[in-house]
Amino acid sequence: MEELKNFSVTAERLQQLNDKELKEGGKYVVYWMQESMRAYENPALEYAIRWANDLDTYCVVVFTLIDDFPEANLRHYKFLIEGLKEAADRITERGIKFILLHGPRAEKIAGFVKENDVCAVVTDRAYTRHERKWRSDAADKLEVPLVQVEGNVVVPVETASDKQEYAARTIRKKIMGKVEAFSQEVTETKPDKPSKRVHLSGDMELNSVSGVLDQLKVDRGVKPLDEFVGGTSEARKHLTAFLRSDLKGYADGRLEPAEDATSHISPYLHFGHISPCEIYRKVNDSSAPKSDREGYIEELVVRRELAHNFVWYAPDTYDSLEAVPDWAQETMEKHESDKRPHHYTREELENGKTDDEAWNAAMKEMRERGFLPNYMRMYWGKQIITYTNTYQYAYETTLYLNNKYFMDGRDPNSYTNVLWLFGLHDRGWTERDVFGKLRTMTRGGLDRKYDVEAYIERVKG
C-alpha cells in the first residue's frame, strides 16, 4: 500500500487489511463501498479513483447489500437505499460504473473480485463488531490487497488516541489539536479511464428505491419516515438550514426539547451520507457566534469521536454493561435490589404506557419520528432504570428501543450513549436510591429546566 503522491488523502487514513500483492496487469480497482455512502468528500472513493489512474486501470464501485443487517428494519433500509441511489447516480455521472450485489458481504465481494480482472480493492472504515468481521473475512478471502480508508470521522481514530479514553476531558485536547489538519477538503479526482460502459453486472439494478426495497427480505415491522429522507443533498439541506439560522443559538438552546433546535444531521452521519469534515468546516467558517460554533464542534467532534474511540478500543464489551467503569459497577451491585418506584413491561414501555406524560411523549416521538432531542434521550433512558427491576434489563431494553426506532440507531453513538446512562464517560454523583452514584434525572428536574408542556404539545402535533 502506498500513500499516493500529491493527494489529499494522507497516510493516517489508510490501512492495508491483508498482505496480498497487487495483481499485475489487472483491469479494475474496486471501491467496495459500505459505510461512506456518498459521492462527495469520500476519501475511499477518491483514493480508489486516484489509484486506478496511477495504474492506468478502471475504477468501479461495488456495494454489497444484505437483508439481515443486525437490528436494521424497513425504516433504516429505506433511508439507506435513498442515500445509495443518490450516490450511485452521482458516481455514474462522474463516469464510474456502480454495481449492486446482493448477498453475504465478504463472500460476494471476494466472488466478484475472483470472477473479474480486479487488481486491488479499497474500502471505507467502520467500527462495530460485525462490520469489522466483514472486513477481516474479506481481507482473508481476497487474492488482492484490501486497503481501508477512514472517512467517517474527522481525526482518524488511532491518530486521535492510541488507547481507550476515560472521558471527553481526556480526549478533547488530543483531538482538537489535530482537527484543522484532518478536516481539509478531499479534492475530487477525475477518472482517466471512465468505466461506466464496461461490461460488468451486478445482482440488482438501482433504478428506484421501492424497486430495490421490494426485493429485500427485511424486517418490515417499523414504519419508514417522511421527515428524514436519505442522501447527501438532504443532509446538506438540513445543514444549510441550520447554518442559515446561525446555529439556532446552539450553546444555550440545544437542550430545550420543545424547540428541537439542533442540526438533525445524526442519521446522515450514521449512514455516511455526509462527511463530518464538511460539517466541521462549514460550521467553523460560519458567522454564528463563537460559543455556538464551539458548542456544536464539541458534540460533532469531541463527543462523537469519543464514541468511536470507545467502540474501537472495546470491541468485545461496547454493547455490554461490563464496559462501564468500576465505580459504576460497584454502585449498581450495591443498589441492585433497591425497590423501583414503578414496574412496566417492555411492551408497556414501547407503547408509551407509563404514568409520566413527558416520557410517553418521548417514546411516541421515537416511534413516529425516529428522532429525539438530546435532553429527552437522556431523560427517557434514565427513567428506564427506575421502570425495570434490574440494571441489566433496563440496559437491554434501552438499547433495543434505541436501535429499533432511532434513524441514527446502531451507531457507535448509540452504544456509547446508552452506556453513558450507566456511568460510561461520567463520574460518580451523590448516592441515591435505585441510581446509586449514577447521575440522576427526574421529572421534577425536567420541569424546572424546560417547558415540558410545550414539548408534549409539540409531539401531539
Residue in 182, 387, 406, 435 binding ligand FAD, rule: CB under 6 A = 406
Ramachandran area for residue 424 (φ above 0: left; ψ -120 to 50: alpha; else beta) = beta
Query: Could you tell me which stretch among 36-44, 131-139, 225-233, 256-264 binds ligand FAD (CB under 6 A)?
Result: 256-264
Residue whose CB is less far from ligand FAD, 148 or 398: 398
| Pairing of the two strands 14-16 and 146-149 | antiparallel
Question: Please, is 134 exposed, middle or buried when counting C-beta atoms within 10 Å of its C-beta (0-12, 13-18, 19+)?
Answer: buried
Which CB atom, from 139 or from 421, has the smaller least distance to ligand FAD? 421
Q: Does 265 bind ligand FAD (CB under 6 A)?
A: yes
Query: Of residues 411, 419, 423, 424, which one binds ligand FAD by CB under 6 A?
Result: 411
Footprint of ligand FAD on 151-190 (CB under 6 A):
none
- Smallest gap, in angstroms, from Cβ of residue 112 to ligand FAD? 31
The residue within the footprint of ligand FAD, chosen from 161, 266, 383, 386 (CB under 6 A), is 266
Smallest separation (angstroms) from ligand FAD to the CB of 247? 9
**Least distance (Å) between residue 426 CB and ligand FAD:** 11
Strands (E), 269-404: none
> Least separation, in Å, of the C-beta of 13 and ligand FAD?
19
Q: Which residue has the cell 459500505?
A: 34
Taking residue 150's Cβ as centre, other Cβ atoms within 10 Å add up to: 25
Whose Cβ is closer to ligand FAD: residue 64's or residue 262's? 262
In the complex with ligand FAD, the residue whose CB is nearer, 60 or 154, is 154
Residue number, 41 or 411, with CB nearest to ligand FAD: 411
388 touches ligand FAD (CB under 6 A)? no
| DSSP-derived secondary structure letter, 321 | G
Q: Which of 13, 78, 304, 404 binds ligand FAD (CB under 6 A)?
A: 304
Specify whether the CB–CB gap between 261 and 253 falls below 8 A.
yes
Contacting ligand FAD within 418-457 (CB under 6 A): 418, 421
Distances (CA, A) of 250 to 239, 253, 283, 291: 13, 5, 11, 8
By CB under 6 A, which span of 18-26, 177-185, 401-409, 437-445 interacts with ligand FAD?
A: 401-409
Does the footprint of ligand FAD cover residue 64 (CB under 6 A)?
no
Q: Is 242 exposed, middle or buried (0-12, 13-18, 19+ CB in 10 A)?
A: buried
Binding mask 269-288 for ligand FAD (x = CB under 6 A): xx------------------
Other CB atoms within a 10 A radius of the CB of residue 54 amount to 14
By CB under 6 A, name the one of 263, 275, 309, 397 that touches ligand FAD. Answer: 263
Please identify which residue in 126, 139, 300, 323 interacts with ligand FAD, judged by CB under 6 A.
Answer: 300
Q: Furthest-apart CA pair in the chain: how many Å? A: 70
Question: Does residue 309 contact residue 267 with C-beta atoms inside 8 Å?
Answer: no
Neighbours of 190 (CB within 10 A): 10
In the bound state with ligand FAD, the residue whose beta carbon lies nearer, of 146 and 365, is: 365
Contacts with ligand FAD by CB under 6 A: the residue count is: 27
Of 252, 292, 223, 267, residue with least CA distance to 73: 223
Contact window for ligand FAD (CB under 6 A) among 51-59, 112-120, 127-135, 296-304: 296-304
Of 303, 308, 369, 437, the one binding ligand FAD (CB under 6 A) is 303
Which string of b and e fits 270-309 if b means at least 16 CB within 10 Å? bbbbbbbbbbbbebbebebeeebbebbbbbbbbbbbbbbb
**Which one among 156, 352, 409, 436 touches ligand FAD, defined by CB under 6 A?**
409
Closest approach of ligand FAD to the CB of residue 415, in Å: 8
DSSP per residue over 50-113, as a string? Answer: HHHHHHT-EEEEEEEE-S--TT--HHHHHHHHHHHHHHHHHHHHTT-EEEEEES-HHHHHHHHH
CA-to-CA dists, residue 413 to 128, 168, 310, angstroms: 11, 13, 9
Sole binder of ligand FAD in the list 17, 65, 307, 459 (CB under 6 A): 307
Cα–Cα distance measured from residue 188 to residue 40, given in angstroms and rounded to the nearest whole number: 8
By CB under 6 A, which span of 57-65, 211-219, 406-414, 438-446 interacts with ligand FAD? Answer: 406-414
Residues that bind ligand FAD (CB under 6 A): 254, 262-266, 269-270, 299-300, 303-304, 307, 374, 377-378, 381, 402, 406, 408-409, 411, 413-414, 417-418, 421
